[in-house]
Amino acid sequence: GAGVSQSPSNKVTEKGKDVELRCDPISGHTALYWYRQSLGQGLEFLIYFQGNSAPDKSGLPSDRFSAERTGGSVSTLTIQRTQQEDSAVYLCASSLGTQGGIDEQFFGPGTRLTVL
Amino acid sequence: QKEVEQNSGPLSVPEGAIASLNCTYSDRGSQSFFWYRQYSGKSPELIMSIYSNGDKEDGRFTAQLNKASQYVSLLIRDSQPSDSATYLCAVNNVNTNAGKSTFGDGTTLTVKP
């Protein structure tokens, strides 16, 4: 079946512009994560959606970052007034859900964001 | 102290050797443990999950879990150059953080021909 998809695969924008990154999780997966990864660095957790629960936004680095998940499926990560330090690969992952801790995550290919 | 700690490496082993990757975690109540492999320029992919103390084998990979000592390890037997990647450990406690998994920063493995 189809895996996690993300769009666009690459995004180049100018400093100060807003960008939207999209994630389509695997059908039936109730948990969805957004991560950021800078070159040579580990995964930086951004936000976590689990079913109908309020999202865990504890990883969002500033109020310029926001995310929503519509209908328990597609998610959009929005970065307002982009800065050069926002340049990174943004990864989305989904899992069946975390009941019992069975949180086997499947990652999308990522969106490489470059802010000029 | 980080919640999940891994040696960043790089860990270098010769082809055919056993590579041993270690991960320690701070949340004693954690129930689920995962190893992901990330090739350079690619996304992480799940290679092993382990939920009970002891060993779990899958082909050349063996995950070892010791909850009392709060560590989980990944052994790669007969290492191949194609195993060269960064290995990420993830830990989950369904009773905390709303079940969100926490990742370590990864260990970079290089297998030399």
What pLDDT digit, counting tens, does each position of A9-47 carry? 999 999 999 999 999 999 989 999 999 999 989 999 999
Name the interface residues of A facing B (CB cutoff 8 Å): 31, 33, 41-43, 45, 48, 50, 53, 56, 91, 93, 97-110
Q: Would the pLDDT of A99 be above 80?
A: no
Between the alpha carbon of residue A115 and those of residues A12, A70, A90, A105, the distances in Å are: 6, 27, 13, 28
Residues of B in contact with A107 (CB under 8 A): 43-45
CA B56 to chain centre: 13
Model pLDDT, residue A43: 95
Model pLDDT, residue A1: 59
Report phi then psi at A72, rounded to 5: 70, 15
What pLDDT digit, counting tens, does each position of B23-59 carry? 999 999 999 999 999 999 999 999 999 999 999 999 9
Smallest Cα–Cα separation from B106: which of A102, A23, A37, A95? Answer: A37
DSSP state of A56: B
Beta bridge partners of B35: B48, B89
- Closest residue on chain A to B41 (Cα): A39
Residues of A in contact with B101 (CB under 8 A): 98, 103, 105
- Contact state of B88 with A99 under an 8 Å Cβ cutoff: no
Q: pLDDT > 90: what percent of chain A?
A: 81
Q: Would the pLDDT of B2 be above 90?
A: no
- The number of beta carbons lying within 10 Å of the beta carbon of residue B57 is 12
Q: Is A18 buried (19+), middle (13-18) or exposed (0-12) by CB count in 10 A?
A: exposed
What pLDDT digit, counting tens, does each position of A43-61 carry? 999 999 988 888 999 999 9
CA distance A98 to A31: 7
